[in-house]
Amino acid sequence: MTKLTQWLWGLALLGSAWAALTMGALGLELPFPCQEVLWPLPAYLLVSAGCYALGTVGYRVATFHDCEDAARELQSQILEARADLARRGLRF
């Protein structure tokens, strides 16, 4: 099963469960407070997912490690390399 079909299945399952419960299709009479929460649940979950995504990406960007040392080390190694290679006969 591809990732796409997994997602479609998952959404279909949850979507139909939600629809069934909110429309009362199964003949279940849910208490009003439950229905109040259930009805906007998809929209609420979508917004929460969006916030989670923004928060996570924001956190990861903020903690993205900057390798200053690596760049400096590379620069000095480049000089060392050029000198050594010239000694070994490389014509740049």
Radius of gyration from C-alpha coordinates of the chain: 29
Among 23, 33, 65, 76, which residue interacts with other proteins (rule: CB under 8 A)?
65
Cα first-last separation, the chain: 54
Stretch that binds other proteins, among 15-23, 30-38, 39-47, 53-61 (CB under 8 A): 53-61
Contact flag: residue 70 with other proteins (CB under 8 A): yes
Q: Which residues contact 30 (CB under 8 A, 6 or more apart)?
A: 21, 24, 38
Query: For other proteins, which stretch binds (CB under 8 A), given 16-24, 27-35, 39-47, 58-66?
Result: 58-66
Q: Which of 27, 29, 33, 60 binds other proteins (CB under 8 A)?
A: 60
